[in-house]
């Protein structure tokens, strides 16, 4: 298959492209990416010269350019998005434009070009907060809490409507929190790891007891491949990890793994509308497509920490420029107001 991949220079997209271009695989790739702050061609150095790979710089909202690049492809795997909740809270317009309008533009083009499959990469965040002990299956109601998750939910609904109205070959994947190599350090785990590399404090939002379901990016990519090759048109597939962990427990696990003191834990002002818990029921993809996560959280964390320790040039590259001003804008003021709202944790930190 010739695949049209959007957002392939980002974290999950680049992991997917490296996986799908492993030796002996039959696919070829057009990677269509705008190269926003989150897009980084350094993520794809290992495949840049592969004859099966082509990069096209472009915006998914630009119908003309997207159609030219998509022509001749067989299927779409759509990763491109403004993917960070905090940025969507403080500057929501970009998330709405890319995630909603951009997806609409791609649906129109894929329909016109009669592509055989459109895999829409969505998120567990569309289900919103899960009650303690509850897990969202694919029929759970959509209850997004942030502009990011609302924009992703909107794009899911557009895909669904195209399937129903136009017999469009759409499939939706809703994955939990990914972690692993090449993740931009605005997200929790790479932010913590890259801060620890330079002994900076770890900002923990609110009481740190929010829970996330952690999925190694390579397990997610294997799931996307399974859905691309064997997933049923019109279906939704949840893809989750093996462990649901409180943020504070995750931060402490990283401190331990990196041999750093708990005095670096710093409680900061909470995210507005912060979801307490995400948890996915993934029985459907296990039963239908024989997919299970293969990487335990302990192994995945060890591998991820090693990757960030080893790839110092990559980390230095992404921590420069835009990231520095982002961090300054969203964290320096937050840090200053910390002590007033710091909760007492059982360990006294
Ligand atoms: P990312 O932010 O690392 O990468 C996004 C990529 O999209 C970047 O390369 C960026 O340049 C590109 N992009 C952004 N706007 C674009 C536009 N208008 N036109 C073309 N390209 C554009 O994101 P990620 O973490 O790799 O997430 C990929 C997808 O997976 C997203 O759709 C996200 O909603 C979804 N998802 C992410 C997670 C997670 O934990 N990171 C979990 C579940 C689902
Ligand atoms: P994030 O990686 O932004 O993913 P999401 O909010 O989409 O699940 O955040 C994961 C969790 O970590 C979430 O509960 C918010 C929390 N968090 C912090 O406590 N501190 C931080 O600096 C960041 C970025 C996130």
Record the tokens describing residue 37, joined without a space. 């702050």
| Shortest-distance Cα residue to atom 21 of ligand 2 | 188
Find the 83 Cα to ligand 1 centroid distance in Å. 5
Residue 297 has pLDDT above 80, yes or no: yes
CA of 184, closest atom in ligand 1: 3
Provide, rounded to the nearest whole percent, the portion of the chain with pLDDT above 70: 96
Could you report the per-residue pLDDT of 161-196, keeping only the tens digit for each? Answer: 999 999 999 999 999 999 999 999 999 999 999 999
Rounded CA-CA distance 241/217 in Å is: 10
Q: What is the pLDDT of residue 339?
A: 36
Residue 84 has pLDDT above 80, yes or no: yes
Query: What average pLDDT does this structure show over 189-212?
Result: 97
Mean pLDDT (the chain, rounded): 94
**Residue partners of 332: CB distance under 8 A and separation at least 6:** none
Q: What is the pLDDT of residue 338?
A: 40
Residue 207 has pLDDT above 50, yes or no: yes
Q: What is the pLDDT of residue 170?
A: 98
Query: What average pLDDT does this structure show over 106-111?
Result: 98
Place 114 in a pLDDT band, splitting at 50, 70 and 90.
very high
Could you report the per-residue pLDDT of 249-281, keeping only the tens digit for each? Answer: 999 999 999 999 999 999 999 999 999 999 999
Query: Is the dihedral angle over the CA atoms 255, 15, 314, 31 positive or is it negative?
Result: negative
pTM of the model: 0.96
CA of 148, closest atom in ligand 2: 7
Q: 323 and 37 in contact (C-beta within 8 Å)?
A: yes
Residue found under tokens 């350019």: 65
Q: Phi-psi bin for 181: left (phi > 0), alpha (psi -120 to 50), beta?
A: beta
Place 322 in a pLDDT band, splitting at 50, 70 and 90.
confident
Provide, rounded to the nearest whole percent, the portion of the chain with pLDDT above 90: 90
Residue 49 has pLDDT above 90, yes or no: yes
CA of 275, closest atom in ligand 2: 14
Q: What is the pLDDT of residue 335?
A: 59
Catalytic one among 33, 59, 82, 124? 124
Per-domain residue ranges for the chain?
Answer: 2-179+216-239
**Lining residues, ligand 2, CB within 6 Å:** 85, 125, 177, 187-188, 191, 203-205, 210, 212, 247, 271
Could you report the per-residue pLDDT of 144-164, keeping only the tens digit for each? Answer: 999 999 999 999 999 999 999
Residue 333 has pLDDT above 80, yes or no: no
Catalytic annotation present for 62 = no
The larger pLDDT score, comparing residue 15 to residue 320, is at: 15
Place 341 in a pLDDT band, splitting at 50, 70 and 90.
very low
| Shortest-distance Cα residue to atom 29 of ligand 1 | 79
Query: What average pLDDT does this structure show over 81-96?
Result: 97
Catalytic annotation present for 326 = no
The ligand whose atoms approach the alpha carbon of 38 most closely is 1
- Strand arrangement, sheet containing 236-239: 53-57, 28-33, 2-6, 75-78, 117-123, 170-175, 236-239
Q: 2-179+216-239, what's its fold?
A: Rossmann fold (3.40.50)
Determine whether 300 is exposed, middle or buried from the number of CB atoms within 10 Å of its CB (0-12, 13-18, 19+).
buried
Q: 100 and 150 in contact (C-beta within 8 Å)?
A: no
Catalytic annotation present for 148 = yes
Record the tokens describing residue 284, joined without a space. 């459907």
Find the 156 Cα to ligand 2 centroid distance in Å. 22
Q: 211 and 9 in contact (C-beta within 8 Å)?
A: no
Residue 348 has pLDDT above 90, yes or no: no
Q: What is the pLDDT of residue 345?
A: 37
Q: What is the pLDDT of residue 173?
A: 99
């Amino acid at each position: 298959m010739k695949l049209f991949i959007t957002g392939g220079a980002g974290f999950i997209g680049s992991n997917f492209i490296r996986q799908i271009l492993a030796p002996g695989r039959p696919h070829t790739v057009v990677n269509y990416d705008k190269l926003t702050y989150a897009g980084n061609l350094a993520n794809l150095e290992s495949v840049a010269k592969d004859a099966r790979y082509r990069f096209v710089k472009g915006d998914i909202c630009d119908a003309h350019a997207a159609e030219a690049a998509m022509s001749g492809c067989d299927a779409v795997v759509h990763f491109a998005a403004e993917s960070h909740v905090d940025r969507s809270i403080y500057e929501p317009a970009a998330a709405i434009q890319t995630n909603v309008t951009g997806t609409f533009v791609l649906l129109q083009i894929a329909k016109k070009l009669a592509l055989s499959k459109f895999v829409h990469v969505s998120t567990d965040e569309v289900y919103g907060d899960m009650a303690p002990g509850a897990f969202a299956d694919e029929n759970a109601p959509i209850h997004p809490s942030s502009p990011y998750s609302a924009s992703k939910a909107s794009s899911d609904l557009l895909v669904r409507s195209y399937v129903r109205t136009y017999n469009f070959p759409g499939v939706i994947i809703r994955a939990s929190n990914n972690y692993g190599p090449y993740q931009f350090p605005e997200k929790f785990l790479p932010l913590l790891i890259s801060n620890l590399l330079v002994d900076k404090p770890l900002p923990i939002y609110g009481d740190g007891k929010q829970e996330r379901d952690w999925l190694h990016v390579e397990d997610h990519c294997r799931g996307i491949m399974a859905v691309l090759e064997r997933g049923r048109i019109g279906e939704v597939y949840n893809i989750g990890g093996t462990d649901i962990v409180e943020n504070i427990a995750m931060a402490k696990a990283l401190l331990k793994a990196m041999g750093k003191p708990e005095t670096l834990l710093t409680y900061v002002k909470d995210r507005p509308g912060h979801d307490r818990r995400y948890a996915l029921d993934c029985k459907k993809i296990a039963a239908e497509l024989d997919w299970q996560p293969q990487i335990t959280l302990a192994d995945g964390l060890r591998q991820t920490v090693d990757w960030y320790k080893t790839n110092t040039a990559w980390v230095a590259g992404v921590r420069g420029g835009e990231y520095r001003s982002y961090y300054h804008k969203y964290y320096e003021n937050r840090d200053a107001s910390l002590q007033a709202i710091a909760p007492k944790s059982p360990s006294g930190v």
